[in-house]
Chain A
Amino acid sequence: MTALLSLRGVETRIGRYHILHGVEFDVAEGGLTMLLGRNGAGKTTTLRTIMGLWRAAAGEIRFDGRDITKMETPDIARLGIAYVPESMAIFADLTVQENLVLAARAGPPDPKRLEWIFGRFEALKRFWTLPAGFLSGGQKQMLAVARAIVEPRRLLLIDEPTKGLAPAIIANMIDAFRELKDGESTLLVVEQNFAFARQLGDAVAVMDDGKVAHQGGMAAFAADSALQQHLLGMGMGEHQ
Chain B
Amino acid sequence: MTSVATGIARKKKISLSELLLRISMFLVIGVITYWLGFNLVIDPRAFLQVSINGINNGLLYALIALGYTLVYGIIELINFAHGDLFMLCSVFSFAILTELFGAKAPGAKNFALLLVVLLLTMIFGAIVNVTIERVAYRRLRNAPKLAPLITAVGMSFVLQWIGLKWVGSVPVNVNTVLPATKYQFAGLEVAFKTFVIFAVTIPILILFVFIVNKTRRGRAMRATAQDKDASRLMGINVNQTISFTFAIAGAAAGAAGIMWAQTIGTVSYNLGFQLGLIAFTSAVLGGVGNLYGAVLGGLIVGLIQAYNDGLTVGPGQRWSQTMVFTILILLMVYRPGGLLGQSSQEKV
Q: Does A associate with B in a complex?
A: no
